[in-house]
A = this chain, B = another copy of it.
Amino acid sequence: RAAGALAAAAVTAVALAVAAWRRARPVREVLFFPSRPCCIEALLAEAAEPGAPARPCPCPLPSGDTALSRLVRRLLSARRSLDLCLFSFSCPQLARAVHLLHRRGVRVRLVTDAQYMGLHGSQIGRLRHAGIQVRHDQHSGYMHHKFAIVDRRMLITGSLNWTTQAIQSNRENVLVVEDAEYVKAFQEEFERIWEEYNPANYRFF
């Protein structure tokens, strides 16, 4: 009986170690778009009120595992900070996720492109109105990055503009990487741009 208990304990220890290793293993994910359309209401509801009973969404879309739902999940994992550097941001679903993080107390900073932020459908005004800090360029080249940094730990970057057209119709890629070296390089680029686009530095010609 003692040997049996010992064996069971050993099996449990191995299982716990494997689970810990899986949790600790850095995220390395490649997402390709277009994404199948999907409902992300359940993801947003769970993030807004963890553990609350799920209410079924009346929309006809499936809530399965898609490139979009994976992207939203990664964003919603933010606990402290979300730094966004986005050429174009008009997708209402992603804007709701960002707004939710802001309401939850995550420090959101958003850098965007001056020419694109005012286009029809842009979510920038809405997010700014909600109290999120937004900065934009003031020169002729495009601020063409499309990356996000979650908790200064996870980099989300690729070809994807945050628009419904891109998500549903285009061939796009997004890398999600928890890699200190890449995160550091992009975080430094973000801070450079954030400072360069500080309104205190604007020159009025």
Residues of A within 8 A of B (CB): 28, 30, 32, 34, 87, 137, 140-147, 157-161, 165-166, 168-173, 175, 181-182, 185-186, 189, 193
Contacts and interface: CB of A to CB of B under 8 A. Distances in A.
Contact of A170 (B32, B144, B170, B172): B144
A142 B168 CA distance: 10
A165 B181 CA distance: 28
B157 A170 contact: no
Contacts of A32: 185, 189
Contact of A141 (B147, B171, B181, B186): B171
Contact of A159 (B146, B168, B170): B146
Given A32-B189, A181-B28, A182-B30, A173 B159 contact: no
Given A87-B159, A175-B157, A175-B175, A169 B186 contact: no
A122 to B, nearest CB: 18
A175 B182 contact: yes
A34 B141 contact: yes
